[in-house]
């Protein structure tokens, strides 16, 4: 793939124009289909020029359905969703199991989910009970989220690592 066409959680995206193709299927997606569709997408976006206002990695979903069908779903944010919504996000494979954030990117996906569902912050203790890896992060969640919002990546990574016992 070219430098500005990237793989995202459920498809491909152009970091220049912001267009995104999500590959949603009722079951496993054949690799051949993904390759063919990705190559077609890349050809369509071969001549896209950068735009200052587009950054698909920072675009925020505005609702749960949009979140479920975006690159914002990772294992840790899917864990929050699984525990508090009672099901896995649409199209997410539960074979990854449940886990807590490992780094700043994971934390960002969790924060973006909780920005959509702010009432879930008060229920993170449920996530900690269901997923032991989450338990040490829950009491410090506000501080971790503050570090994330203040773009203090190294401090956030260190804090998460210490809480996770690494």
pLDDT at res. 9: 62
Alpha helices in the chain (DSSP H): 31-44, 64-68, 75-85, 104-116, 124-130, 141-149, 153-163
Could you tell me the residue ranges of all domains in the chain?
A: 1-59, 64-163
Q: How do residues 16-33 score in pLDDT, each as one tens digit?
A: 666 667 676 656 677 887
Sequence-ordered strand ranges (E) for 16-158: 20-22
* Residue 120 near residue 79 (C-beta atoms within 8 A): no
Q: How do residues 93-127 score in pLDDT, each as one tens digit?
A: 676 789 999 988 889 889 999 999 999 999 999 99
Q: How do residues 47-66 score in pLDDT, each as one tens digit?
A: 777 654 444 455 677 788 87
């Amino acid at each position: 793939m070219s430098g500005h066409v990237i793989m995202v959680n459920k498809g491909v995206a152009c970091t220049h124009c912001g267009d995104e193709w999500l590959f949603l299927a009722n079951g496993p997606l054949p690799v051949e289909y993904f390759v063919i569709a990705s190559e077609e997408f890349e050809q369509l976006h071969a001549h896209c020029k950068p735009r200052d206002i587009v950054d698909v990695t920072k675009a925020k979903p505005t609702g749960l359905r949009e979140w479920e069908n975006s690159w914002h779903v990772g294992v840790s944010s899917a864990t929050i969703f699984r525990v508090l919504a009672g099901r896995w996000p649409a199209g997410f494979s539960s074979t990854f199991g449940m886990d807590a954030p490992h780094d700043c990117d994971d934390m960002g996906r969790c924060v973006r989910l909780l920005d959509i569902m702010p009432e879930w912050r008060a229920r993170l203790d449920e996530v900690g009970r269901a997923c032991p890896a989450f338990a040490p992060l829950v009491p410090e969640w506000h501080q971790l989220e503050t570090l994330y919002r203040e773009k203090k990546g190294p401090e956030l990574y260190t804090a998460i690592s210490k809480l996770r016992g690494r």
